[in-house]
Amino acid sequence: MYILPYTPPYDWPWILGFLRDRAVTGIEQVGENHYSRSLALDGHQGIITVTPHAEKPALVVTLSDGLLPVANLALAKVEQLLDLRLDPTAMLATLGELAAARPGLRLPGCVDSFEQAIRAILGQLVSVALAAKLTGKLAAAFGTPCAGHDGWLLFPDAATLARLAPETVKTIGIPLQRAQAIVTLAQGCVAGTFPLVRPENVELGVKALMTWPGIGRWTANYYAMRGWQAPDVFLPDDYAIKQRFAGMTPATIRRYATRWQPWRAYALLHIWYSSGWQPVN
């Protein structure tokens, strides 16, 4: 058992709900007060489980035996997924009233940037629920069992997906072009050309992502926000955001959002999850 502290406020129920809505069958399980998922790291594999500490501003992490040799790396992945390293003071000051209703909201990251990139592609133009379902079908078709844990799968790695024909990936129920994008991305990861680590200049990094087949502006920005956990990314082309900024073009929305720099990703989440919010002049 390991204890990972955080700087309050931290809205554990909210982030648990965020993960629950996107949970992938076989890879993740989300209960009323816990989050579990499979993980493969440096030749080791197992299950991580996270629960809130009963007394401290901290989360309690349990690792199955298979992950104990890489415990420090696994804990770092948990910190990245749950945004535990953030001191929210500056972010809350910048967002002001926008963050007042949910000051403990954090930016969910990921435990594996490759997995998050694939999930971003599968989430194109579909609901959150359907994206999770498609990701589960991908895991069931091409993932591998997590050794010693019945019913658990490991997300397919880049080498596995890189060897597949797009026509094979298409059988999970996605368009051929999207299947080709997944295979191409996996091949790029194997070759070391796809950017799995946040670049120094995120804006240029997002533009570079958009040169990859099947990755448009929304996918590139969403991956940057979750896969790189870039705090200053905004999605002016997002359907829900365009509804909130009714009558504004994406360019106008982008200009409006500059008031929240360098915390625009957090502003985006607050807008998504604040039903009554409307832009003001």
Residues marked active site are found at 238
Strand order in the sheet with 58-63: 2-5, 58-63, 44-52, 35-41, 28-30
Q: Answer whether 219's CB lies under 8 Å from 185's CB.
A: no
User: CA-to-CA distance for 257 and 186, rounded, in angstroms?
Assistant: 33
Q: Residue 29 — φ and ψ, nearest 5°?
A: -135, 130
Q: What DSSP string runs through 110-174?
A: -S-HHHHHHHHHHTTTS-HHHHHHHHHHHHHHH-EE-TT-TT-EEPPPHHHHHTS-HHHHGGGT-
The count of other CB atoms within 10 Å of the CB of residue 230 is: 22
How far, rounded to the nearest angstrom, does the alpha carbon of residue 124 sit from its chain's CA centroid?
A: 14
Non-local CB neighbours of 200 within 8 Å, separated by 6+ positions: none
Helix, strand, or coil (residue 63): strand
Q: Per DSSP, what are the bridge partners of residue 38?
A: 47
